[in-house]
Copies of this chain bind each other. A is one copy, B any other.
Amino acid sequence: MSENHALEEGADFTPRFDENGLITCITRASGDGEVLMLAYMNAEALRLTLETGVAHYWSRSRKSLWRKGDTSGQIQTVKEIRTDCDQDALLLTVEAAGDGGACHTGRRSCFYRKVIADGPNVRLMIEA
Q: Indicate if A105 sits at the interface (CB-CB under 8 A).
A: yes
> From residue 26 to 63 of chain A, which have CB atoms closer than 8 A to chain B?
26, 28, 32-35, 37-38, 50-51
| Alpha-carbon distance between A50 and B37 when the two chains are bound, in angstroms | 22
User: Which chain B positions have C-beta within 8 A of A103?
Assistant: 84-85
Cα-based distance from A8 to B104 in the complex (angstroms): 10
Interface pair A37/B115, CB less than 8 Å apart:
no
Complex contact A13–B85 (CB within 8 A): no
A32, A34, A81, A107: most-surrounded residue (chain B CB, <10 A) = A81
* Residue from B8, B38, B124 within 8 A of A10 (CB atoms): B124
Tell me how many chains of this kind the complex includes. Answer: 2
Which of B9, B80, B89, B124 meets A38, CB within 8 Å?
Answer: B89
Question: Given known contacts A85-B103, A105-B85, is B123 in contact with A11 (CB within 8 Å)?
Answer: yes
B9, B50, B104: the one contacting A115 at CB < 8 Å is B50
Taking the complex as formed, is A111 at the interface, i.e. its CB lies under 8 A from any CB of chain B? yes
Encoded as 1 (CB less than 8 Å from any B CB) or 0, chain A from 95 to 128 comes to 0000000011101001111110100001111100
- Top 10 nearest A-B pairs (CB, nearest first) are A84-B110, A81-B115, A82-B111, A38-B89, A50-B117, A91-B111, A85-B110, A13-B122, A11-B123, A11-B124
